[in-house]
Amino acid sequence: MFFKEIVGQEDIKHRLIRSVKEQRISHAQLLAGPEGSGKLALAIAYAQYISCRNPQENDSCGVCPECKKYQKLIHPDLHFVFPIVKSSKFKSSVSDNYLKEWREMVLSNPYFNLDQWLNTIGAENAQGMIYTEESDQIIRKLNLKTFEAEYKVMIIWMPEKMNPVTANKLLKMIEEPPAKTLFLLVSENESQILGTIRSRTQLLNIPPIAEDSLKKALETHPDIAGKDLNSIINLSNGNYLRALSLLNPDEQTLYYLEKFKEVMRLSYSRKVPDLFIWANEISAIGREKQKAFLLYCLKQIRENFIANARTPEISYMSSEESEFSARFSPFINEKNVISISQEFEKSYLHVSMNGNPKIIFLDMALKITKLIR
């Protein structure tokens, strides 16, 4: 992975490169920022630059043995940890079980979210976690000598999904790692990371991508023909993953929109028997997808409230979403927006705590019937 392949984030790139040139590489760093900002890509490009035998002024050389192996994510001193699901196919629950799928996904496009990753490995109804067994693997790998590069690099994607036991086991390793060991934690919600882990890392805040950088990246995209570039940039709000989905909405996003429209229409019409059917369908899609759906609904409530307030300059909806909003937004107003949002937030919490999804979604839908009118 090269720095030049990453959309925008020039200030962050320069800061990372400068830390290498000035030999100020902190042994544990936390790259934290919103979805679609390029955190994972930055971590991999940084690790490659550190390991490159002939680093250039602003990027890795790309031709040395280290770079060639990093470009395929097969360097023996590069290790990954990421959320997975338990499976009867494997004796232990560790990231290495899914390393082939991980490499393929990152090399295909390093801009993806947890929901997309779990779909790739067939998580179904399970929630992605970094399990206790992973800590023993991390400690074992990092206590080995480096094979080729100067540094052993451990990239932990979504450390907020780390089992508390796992996190506690890693405290000493992160605080006092073996020589020439680098931890790179890549997080979208640093507040959920164990406090003692956060305090042992150097925080690097990754901001949303600047509009000019997004524009430059999208202008040459093969799917941009016939699309409103300025609208996509505005709607993506610094999220490159969102920009790609606006170019070509994926099936998951369209499904979430359809289910949101359905529950709102049924709730407004007070068709309780149909709400039972709706709740049963949503309860079958898996917990991670249920959580993603609820976050999507919260965003739609916010956008429709903004649309109702007639402030389109701060509304971020796709053409499909705007079409529904034109008729729906008047029903989301100052009298019910907070209460409806709280119902979705409560449902998200209960799903996260492994509550019965049929009960959770039916209860939420029935409460919305009272709030929507």
What are 57-69's pLDDT values in tens digits? 999 998 999 999 9
Is the CA virtual torsion 244, 249, 250, 256 positive or negative?
Answer: positive
Average pLDDT, the chain: 87
Comparing C-alpha atoms, which of 195, 189, 222 is closest to residue 291?
189
Q: In this structure, are residues 44 and 187 in contact, taking their beta carbons and an 8 Å threshold?
A: no
Q: Order of strands, edge to edge, in the sheet holding 28-32?
A: 78-81, 152-157, 181-187, 28-32, 202-205
pLDDT of 158 reads 92
pLDDT of 265 reads 92
The dihedrals phi and psi of 159, each to the nearest 5 degrees, come to: -65, -15
In terms of residues, how long is the chain?
373
- Residue 285 carries which DSSP code? S
Taking the C-alpha atoms of residue 150 and residue 176, their distance in angstroms, rounded to an integer, is: 18
Q: What is the mean pLDDT of residues 271-288?
A: 89
Q: In this structure, what is the dihedral angle of CA atoms 288, 293, 296, 298, given to the nearest 10 degrees?
A: -100
Q: What is the CA radius of gyration of the chain?
A: 22
Confidence of residue 191 (pLDDT cuts 50, 70, 90): confident
Q: What is the mean pLDDT of residues 180-186?
A: 92
Q: In this structure, are residues 215 and 43 in contact, taking their beta carbons and an 8 Å threshold?
A: no
The more confident residue out of 318 and 142 is: 142
CA atoms within 13 A on the CB side of 40: 24
Give yes or no for residue 357 having a pLDDT over 80.
Answer: yes
pLDDT of 174 reads 86
The more confident residue out of 337 and 287 is: 337
From the DSSP assignment, how many helices (H) and strands (E) are in the chain? 17, 5
Any residues with CB less than 8 A from the CB of 73 and at least 6 apart, and which?
44, 80, 102, 103, 106, 107
Q: What is the pTM of this model?
A: 0.75
The more confident residue out of 368 and 126 is: 368
Consecutive H or E run containing 283: none
Percent of the chain's residues with pLDDT above 90? 40
Q: What is the mean pLDDT of residues 194-202?
A: 87
The more confident residue out of 109 and 123 is: 109
> What Å distances lie between residue 190 and 85, 114, 151, 236, CA to CA?
22, 15, 25, 22
Give yes or no for residue 222 having a pLDDT over 80.
Answer: no
All structural domains of the chain: 3-207 (3.40.50.300), 218-247 (no CATH), 249-371 (1.20.272)
Give yes or no for residue 228 having a pLDDT over 80.
Answer: no
Q: For the chain, report the end-to-end CA distance as a whole number of angstroms.
A: 52
Confidence of residue 226 (pLDDT cuts 50, 70, 90): low
Comparing C-alpha atoms, which of 298, 333, 30, 25 is closest to residue 162?
30
